[in-house]
Amino acid sequence: MIPENVIQAEIYKWYNNNFCLKSHDPQCIIFSVPNGGTRNIKEALLLKATGVVAGVSDLIIVRLNEIIFVEVKTEIGKQSDKQKQFQQTVETLGFKYLLVRSLEDFKSQIL
């Protein structure tokens, strides 16, 4: 099984190279939100105080008049309750939220 971070890197590279280079018109933006990992209590409190939100999607895409939130999971991965809550909020606000499990899955949903 391909690890989640490898899938995310494939998605980032493909999307960035096809839509986000300076030569693209309009140039899109794709970026990750480093929200996971192990943190000590001091660092965790600082991150929370500066706006880190539990459940935020792994990638955010900004393109002409559109923002897309992308959550990357393995073929058997499941969203946490916080991720489901974030998805619901995003969709209630009228934005697109994609749950993808591979580069091909991402391509089929984004194009």
Extents of the domains making up the chain: 4-110
Provide the whole-model pTM: 0.93
Structure tokens that stand for 14 in this block: 């493909």
Of 94, 46, 108, 44, the C-alpha closest to 66 is 94
Instruction: Tell me which fold the domain 4-110 belongs to.
Output: Trna Endonuclease; Chain: A, domain 1 (3.40.1350)
- Helices 103-110 and 4-19 cross at an angle (nearest 10°) of 40
pLDDT at 34: 79
Give the integer Cα–Cα distance in Å for 87 and 53: 13
pLDDT at 3: 96
Q: How many residues does the chain have?
A: 111
Whether 85 shows a pLDDT value over 90: the answer reads yes
Give the integer Cα–Cα distance in Å for 61 and 38: 25
Quickly tell me which residue has 């991965």 as its tokens: 77
pLDDT at 76: 97
pLDDT at 100: 98
pLDDT at 52: 86
Of 56, 63, 51, 54, the C-alpha closest to 87 is 56
Question: Average pLDDT, whole number, for the chain?
Answer: 94
Whether 64 shows a pLDDT value over 80: the answer reads yes
Tens of pLDDT, residues 8-52? 999 999 999 999 999 999 999 999 987 766 778 888 888 888 888
What are the φ/ψ torsions at residue 37 (nearest 5 degrees)?
Answer: 95, 175
